[in-house]
Amino acid sequence: MSERIANAALRQKVMSADDAAALINDGDQIGFGGFTGSGYPKALPSALAKRIKESHDRGEKFTVNVFTGASTAPELDGALASVDGIGWRMPYQSDPQMRNKINDGTSFYTDIHLSESGMMVRQGFFGKVDYAVIEATRITEDGDVVLTSSVGNNAVYCDVADKIIIEVNSWQSEDLEGMHDIYGGFALPPNRVPIPITHPGDRIGDKFLHVPQNKVAAIIETDGPDRNTPFKPIDDDSRKIAGYLLDFYDNEVKQGRMPKNLLPLQSGVGNIPNAVLDGLLHSDLEHLTSYTEVIQDGMIDLIDAGKLDVASATAFSLSPEYAHKMNENAAFYRDHIILRPQEISNHPEVIRRLGVVGANGMIEADIYGNVNSTHVMGSRMMNGIGGSGDFTRNAYISAFVSPSTAKGGAISAIVPMVSHVDHTEHDGMVIITEQGIADLRGLAPRQRAPKIIENCAHPDYRPMLMDYYERALRDCKFKHTPQLLGEAYSWHTRFLETGTMKES
Ligand code: 0RQ
């Protein structure tokens, strides 16, 4: 048995994943660890999926409700979704199987702000949580848990669940001990107190997660890696978008609106944020900080180059090469990285106080600056809102970044009216595509539309958008936000009918 379980009483609870899965029943609500493919339990979900499949083969009903931090991996979302085992799911996912089950109507999905997911569980809106299933790199002699590559909602689920199952994963570095900062000061109103973070590097909690030993129902030993996906090489459009964003930051510094080392940075994951981090690496900026959700490869490069002093997040989202590097050098990186509960990494109060500078991806924006991050053609769920709303509403500067077209040019990312709204025109401040940048701060709707169309839309769609806007301005009775309601979604319906938003 692994010496990573130092507590004698908890060592008695070690069992196989199949035996632990046998504890779980139809209808149970399970709070799983895991955030962007890091620190999720690797063995229990597959064993549970097997049990669910066997039940279904016998003609019995068996589904569970799945709570997580954010997206997980094929071994969790994929395994359970592929056997139709998930009745309901929250708060964020990005797994292809899970996405299909949401979109074909098999599973319910409640897509909520990541900062609010734990809070709502504490408030009891989702009912009783039966099991918390989390991943640890080590259990101390006192029975405290050293978490792994994500913190997510682990603390909430362990606080509220009836029973706890812990996977102790020997693939994860034991040197992660000291990287986590588990804040336990949450209370429900009217007893809330200020969260005492005034700098991204502040530590306000404990390095261990304390779990009540009497709730621990099983411990499973594992040794599998996180779902680490390699990053695609940075493409030209991403480089252009990153260039516009960095020039914009540079100008903010020149205007005296940001200090020379910028403000704490937040970025989504993907090609464009990666290009931004690469741009920062090749800039002469120093003493950068980050207050974000996920640590990605580019941030590790910035730490290595001595340009990023500290990064605060709730999880890693690293390529296999960088995950290996983290495992080898966690003792060094823990001086520069803090992993916090997502209730804190994404907390509006802290984001607003620190003046975080955010940049997130989008599916589409409309000519007035409303943004859709989640639904393709208004109905098909892509991933979820994730933390984009937490940051966008509260950041000092909120940018949305996207190529100006999708699906080989058949879809314009700038449309007359977004087919679903995640971020209203009141929240986003800057829109950037490879065509250019529209700084919308302080602009009224009629001042925004020409700017977004001229600066951000693809030339193939620019005349169509301008034509729509000019006719809306002429024919709409009310001139504040002119729309032609009978036509506003014609771009989406044309795509659904003909396969392109372009007019024939
Ligand atoms: O589809 O995979 O089939 O090729 O959407 O698009 O351009 O690769 O961009 O990976 O950055 O994702 C908004 C989904 C963008 C993401 C979204 C299709 C496109 C492609 C992916 P394929 P790209 P990205 C921090 C904050 C919400 C969560 C968030 C997201 C696929 O950024 O999930 O921000 N955001 N979290 O073809 C139809 C359009 C489209 C479109 C793109 N207009 N119509 N399809 N696509 N635009 C991070 C966390 O919270 C963890």
Measured distance CA(124)–CA(383) in Å, rounded: 25
Q: Where are the alpha helices (DSSP H) in 13-62?
A: 17-21, 44-57
Give 366's strand partners.
Answer: 415
Residues 6+ apart with CB under 8 A from 432: 241, 244, 245, 248, 399, 400, 401, 402, 438, 456
Q: Is 363 annotated as a binding residue?
A: yes
Query: Cis omega before residue 190 (within 30°)?
Result: yes
What pLDDT was estimated at residue 1?
A: 58
Question: pLDDT tens track of the chain, all 504 residues?
Answer: 579 999 999 999 999 999 999 999 999 999 999 999 999 999 999 999 999 999 999 999 999 999 999 999 999 999 999 999 999 999 999 999 999 999 999 999 999 999 999 999 999 999 999 999 999 999 999 999 999 999 999 999 999 999 999 999 999 999 999 999 999 888 999 999 999 999 999 999 999 999 999 999 999 999 999 988 887 889 999 999 999 999 999 999 999 999 999 999 998 888 899 899 999 999 999 999 999 999 999 999 999 999 999 999 999 999 999 999 999 999 999 999 999 999 999 999 999 999 999 999 999 999 999 999 999 999 999 999 999 999 999 999 999 999 999 999 999 999 999 999 999 999 999 999 999 999 999 999 999 999 999 999 999 999 999 999 999 999 999 999 999 999 999 999 999 999 999 998
Torsions phi, psi for 120 (to 5 deg): -70, -35
For residue 67, give the nearest of 100, 30, 38 by alpha carbon. Answer: 30
For atom 42 of ligand 1, the residue with the nearest CA is: 363
The 8 Å CB, 24+ separation contacts for 408-412 are 409/458, 409/460, 410/495, 410/499, 410/500, 410/501, 410/502, 411/364, 411/495, 411/500, 411/501, 412/364, 412/457, 412/458, 412/460, 412/461, 412/465, 412/491, 412/501
For residue 342, what are its two tokens? 């997502």
Q: Is 387 annotated as a binding residue?
A: yes
Q: Is 503 a catalytic residue?
A: no
The pTM (predicted TM-score) of the whole model is 0.97
How would you classify residue 306: left for phi > 0, otherwise alpha for psi between -120 and 50, otherwise beta?
left
Measured distance CA(65)–CA(100) in Å, rounded: 17
For atom 47 of ligand 1, the residue with the nearest CA is: 363
For residue 28, what are its two tokens? 């149970």
Domains in the chain: ranges and CATH: 1-220 (3.40.1080.10), 355-503 (3.40.1080.20)
How would you classify residue 408: left for phi > 0, otherwise alpha for psi between -120 and 50, otherwise beta?
left
Query: Cis omega before residue 91 (within 30°)?
Result: yes
CA 313 to ligand 1 centroid distance, Å:
21
Ligand 1 test: best mutation among 382, 394, 465, most atoms within 8 Å of CB? 382
Complex-level ipTM: 0.97
For residue 389, what are its two tokens? 């709303």
* Pocket flag, ligand 1, residue 293 (CB < 6 Å): yes
Task: Catalytic residue, from 221, 293, 343, 364: name it.
Answer: 293
Q: Where are the alpha helices (DSSP H) in 334-375?
A: 342-345, 348-354
